Chain A
Amino acid sequence: NAGVMQNPRHLVRRRGQEARLRCSPMKGHSHVYWYRQLPEEGLKFMVYLQKENIIDESGMPKERFSAEFPKEGPSILRIQQVVRGDSAAYFCASSPRQRNNEKLFFGSGTQLSVL
């Protein structure tokens, strides 16, 4: 049973380009969470999705950022018109059920560097 898979592992973009980060949850997990870790800062919640639904996007910046988790395929975190401040490590995690006391399984992260 493969763990949470994130790709790419490293992504380099120039300012103004789009970044697409992918997360495939563990088999049987239908809940996906995205977190961002800015340099020298702690992890921060971004968005929580179930299949085809955004449940909580209170941590997402209001502009340029979007997330989806389609019926088929991985969850995608999309950042349009990237800026240098978007450079960070982006982690996703998955869980099988919607309960606040459910153990989370994390991916290895995508390190986004904006030049």
Chain B
Amino acid sequence: KNEVEQSPQNLTAQEGEFITINCSYSVGISALHWLQQHPGGGIVSLFMLSSGKKKHGRLIATINIQEKHSSLHITASHPRDSAVYICAAWDNYNQGGKLIFGQGTELSVKP
């Protein structure tokens, strides 16, 4: 079992739908990242969370430390949101750079 698991692996939505991507982790973490990887390959950091909830535009990220679970929500989805979304955890016991990545969720938003 991977230390960071995402679901679903693939997601197709209609424009305007509310989207949720889930991330569960089994390691103790100090922070969790949500990343977006565009079809061209570039990676953008969307959020870095250690507790609670963050919002940026139509994107909302939440984390529940006790349940070891995080969610990424997209409201009013748009075709330009089509990308791979990746959660990645900073291992609590590692002071180096070892982010542990989920496998990614490939999102396709249809017009």
Complex Cα distance, B50 from A104, in Å, reads 14
Known: A101-B31, A101-B48. A45 touches B97 (CB 8 A): yes
B23 contacts the other chain (Cβ, under 8 Å)?
no
The interface on chain B, measured as residues whose beta carbon lies within 8 A of the other chain's beta carbons, has a size of: 28
**Which residues from chain B contact A103 at a C-beta distance below 8 Å?**
33, 45, 48
Task: Please determine whether B94 and A100 come into contact, CB atoms closer than 8 angstroms.
Answer: yes
Q: Scan residues 74-97 of chain B and give those whose CB is less than 8 A from a CB of chain A.
A: 86, 88, 90-92, 94-97
Task: Please determine whether A59 and B98 come into contact, CB atoms closer than 8 angstroms.
Answer: yes
**Which residues from chain A contact B30 at a C-beta distance below 8 Å?**
100-101
B111 contacts the other chain (Cβ, under 8 Å)?
no
Known: A106-B43, A108-B41. A31 touches B97 (CB 8 A): yes
- Distance in Å: Cβ of B80 to nearest Cβ of chain A: 18
What residues make up the interface of B, taking CB atoms closer than 8 Å to A?
30-31, 33, 35, 40-45, 48, 50, 86, 88, 90-92, 94-104
